[in-house]
Homo-oligomer: A and B are copies of this chain.
C-alpha cells in the first residue's frame, strides 16, 4: 500500500478552492490577501503559495494582476487551451473537430435554453443579438460579443457544466480558426450571424426548443461551410 503524497502546493490550492467555492470567504471578483499575508495565514512559504496560485490560475479560477493583486475569476473563462489541444498539428482538422464538437453540444444547448431560460436571460440574449447586428452594420469586429452570445445561451440552459465549459470552448474555437486561416472570413461570418442569431434568439424567446435546436444547427453548419 503506497501512501499517496500530496504536495503542499496542491493542498493549498485545494484549500483556497474550498475557501472560494465552499466557505465563500472570497467571492468572484474579490481580491485575495497579498502573498506575504496569505502564505503566513496558511502557514506555508510564499514559494509554495505561489505555486498553488499558479495552479488555480491555470484552471481559470484565479486571475493574477501584477502589481495590484490576485483576484477570484468571474468565470468568464478565457481558457483557450486544455490538454494541449491547441497544439495539435493539423489546424484545419482541429477546426473541423471543434465544429463537430459544437455541432453535438450547441444545438442541444439551444434547445435547453429555450426550455429553461428565465425572462432576464431571454432579454439578454435578444439584446446581444441586436448588439451584434449593430456592430456588423457599422463594420466593427464582434468576435467577443459572438462568444458572449453563445455563452449566454449556455448559461440559459441552467446546466452548470454547460455554462462553465462553453466559454472556453468558444474561445478555443476562435483561437483555432485564427491560427488555421490567415485570411479573414469576415463577410461570410457577418452573413451567418445576421441570419441566424436573431432566429435563435426568437426561438428561445418563444420557447420553441425544436426551432432553437434547428437554427443553432444550421448556424454552426454554415460556419463550418464558410471555412472551406
Convert A51-90 into 0s and 1s, putting 1 for each residue whose CB lies closer than 8 angstroms to a CB of B: 1001111111100101000000001010101111101110
Convert A32-61 into 0s and 1s, putting 1 for each residue whose CB lies closer than 8 angstroms to a CB of B: 000000000000000100110011111111
Name the residue of chain B whose CB is nearest to the CB of A21.
B87
Q: Does A127 contact B (CB under 8 A)?
A: no
* A interface residues, Cβ below 8 angstroms from B: 5, 7, 9, 17-18, 20-22, 47, 50-51, 54-61, 64, 66, 75, 77, 79, 81-85, 87-89, 93-94, 97-98, 100-101, 104-105, 108-109, 112, 159-162, 164-165, 168
Q: For residue A100, which residues in chain B have a CB less than 8 angstroms away from its CB?
A: 112, 159, 161-162
Q: For residue A60, which residues in chain B have a CB less than 8 angstroms away from its CB?
A: 82-83
A160 to B75, CA, bound (A): 25
User: Contact: A75 with B83, CB < 8 Å?
Assistant: yes
Number of copies: 2
A142 to B77, CA, bound (A): 34
User: Contact: A59 with B77, CB < 8 Å?
Assistant: no
Name the residue of chain B whose CB is nearest to the CB of A163.
B97
Q: For residue A55, which residues in chain B have a CB less than 8 angstroms away from its CB?
A: 54-55, 57-58
A167 to B60, CA, bound (A): 19
Task: Report which of B84, B109, B161 forms a contact with A21, defined as CB distance below 8 A.
Answer: B84
Name the residue of chain B whose CB is nearest to the CB of A111.
B104
8 closest Cβ contacts across the A-B interface? A21-B87, A58-B58, A55-B58, A83-B164, A104-B108, A101-B161, A97-B161, A97-B159
